[in-house]
């Protein structure tokens, strides 16, 4: 599947709607098949990824989607001034979980070598991801992690898209929520996340 030019919020909304409604019961493990290690795994409601180096607790109340291992290609062919012009970006879904209307989705996009030193803030503010005349990304430190983020909404809920770069991957973590209380709870999970995980 290819998408020609999209904003970060449109992409976040797409990801929110894209995932299958088939979910596994909380706590069930998902083991990546050979060659799929980059997608990581979920075990006992903990997502871990040895390749990218991240480890995130998923709330036990949430249902965790079965991994689809389906990538989405973003082709920015008509975005003048974008740092991604001429590149094809491949968005990999690492995990998605829900306790509607709260949703928790993490994706990883391998960055071209020349862009691997960019920050999440720089990427969110790029013309590829930012709506024309839209707000600039803000920065928030949660625990030991410093994220850039933008806020948006879909017809179903509000969402906040957090961004950070790790080991050459652009990591996007989208939280769908109904009210500030929901968002604050999920922010605590991001504060506890280990995004420099060394693995076992």
pLDDT at 5 over 70: no
pLDDT at 22: 31
Greater confidence (192 vs 100) lies with 192
pLDDT digits (tens, 9 = 90+) for 6-62: 334 434 444 444 432 333 333 343 444 446 888 999 999 999 999 999 999 999 999
pLDDT in tens, 91-137: 999 999 999 889 999 999 999 998 999 999 999 999 888 877 788 99
SS (H, E, C) the chain: CEECCCCHHHHHHHHHHHCCCCEECCCCCECCCCCCHHHCEEECCEEEECCCCEEEECCCCCEEECCCCCCEEECCCCCCCCCCCCCCEEEEEEEEEEECCEEEEEEEEECCHHHCCCCHHHHHCCCCCCCCCCCCCEEEEECCEEEEEEEEECCCCEEEEEEEEECCEEEEEEEEECCHHHHHHHHHHHHHCECCCCCC
Higher pLDDT: 200 or 32? It is 200
Whether pLDDT at 75 is above 60: yes
CATH 2.40.30 is right for the domain spanning 2-32+40-192: no
**How does residue 153 score in pLDDT terms, banded at 50, 70 and 90?**
confident
Supply the pLDDT for residue 77.
62
Q: What's the pLDDT at 200?
A: 67
């Amino acid at each position: 599947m290819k998408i020609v030019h999209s904003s970060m919020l449109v992409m976040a909304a797409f990801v929110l709607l894209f995932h299958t409604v088939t979910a596994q019961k909380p706590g069930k493990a998902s083991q990546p098949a050979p060659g799929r290690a980059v997608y990581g795994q979920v075990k006992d409601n903990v997502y871990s990824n040895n390749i990218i180096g991240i480890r995130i607790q998923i709330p036990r109340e949430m249902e965790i989607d079965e991994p689809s291992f389906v990538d989405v290609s973003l082709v920015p062919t008509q975005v003048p001034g974008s740092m991604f012009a001429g590149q094809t970006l491949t968005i990999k879904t690492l995990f998605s979980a829900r306790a509607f209307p709260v949703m928790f989705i993490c994706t990883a996009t391998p960055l071209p070598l020349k862009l691997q030193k960019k920050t999440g803030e720089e990427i969110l503010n790029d013309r590829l991801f930012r709506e024309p005349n839209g707000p600039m990304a803000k920065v928030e430190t949660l625990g030991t992690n410093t994220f850039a983020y933008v806020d948006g909404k879909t017809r179903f809920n509000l969402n906040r898209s957090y961004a950070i770069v790790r080991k050459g991957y652009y990591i996007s973590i989208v939280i769908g929520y109904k009210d500030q209380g929901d968002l604050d709870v999920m922010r605590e999970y991001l504060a506890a996340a280990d995004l420099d995980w060394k693995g076992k």
